[in-house]
């Protein structure tokens, strides 16, 4: 499953992710990371049954952990299958099959929302995530 880890500026320089990995022995597969002066944001994959363990460890160190469990919602009735979403998606959620129908692989979605802005027909939307 995908999770988002937010790290505030006061603990940004501490190796809290590395500490959590060592402490719990749970592996994190980082798929996206963004850091600036105000905060850090990391999207990672973690085994579902290890989530609680990892979440507790990271939260104890001051990070905020969000489950990315409501991926992009595709409204097929609004969609005209233009494919505008394909070129802006960083994780290749969207593709066209042989007959130019849009294929949506929700499991790849990291909920960045870039495609929502791009879609000319309001066929894509993001729901709320659970903490």
What minimum distance in Å lies between the beta carbon of 8 and other proteins? 21
Encoded one letter per residue, x for contact with other proteins by CB under 8 A and - for no contact, window 18-37 reads --------------------
Whether 75 and 125 have beta carbons less than 8 Å apart is answered as yes
Residue 87, CA distances (Å) to 54, 55, 66, 92, 122 in order = 33, 33, 26, 8, 17
Interface residue with other proteins among 32, 66, 83, 91 (CB under 8 A) is 83
Q: Does 87 bind other proteins (CB under 8 A)?
A: yes
Size of the site for other proteins (CB under 8 A): 18
Q: Does 84 bind other proteins (CB under 8 A)?
A: yes
């Amino acid at each position: 499953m995908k999770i988002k880890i937010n790290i505030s500026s006061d603990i940004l320089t501490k190796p809290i992710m590395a500490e959590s990995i060592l402490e719990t022995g749970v592996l994190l597969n980082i798929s996206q990371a963004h850091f600036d002066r105000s905060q850090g944001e990391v999207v990672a994959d973690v085994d579902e049954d290890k989530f609680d363990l990892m979440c507790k460890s990271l939260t104890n160190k001051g990070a905020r952990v969000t489950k990315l469990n409501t991926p992009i919602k595709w409204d097929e009735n609004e969609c005209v299958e233009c494919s505008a979403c394909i070129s802006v998606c960083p994780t290749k959620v969207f593709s066209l099959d042989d007959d130019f129908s849009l294929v949506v692989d929700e499991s790849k979605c990291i909920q960045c929302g870039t495609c929502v802005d791009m879609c000319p027909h309001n066929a894509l939307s993001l729901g709320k995530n659970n903490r």
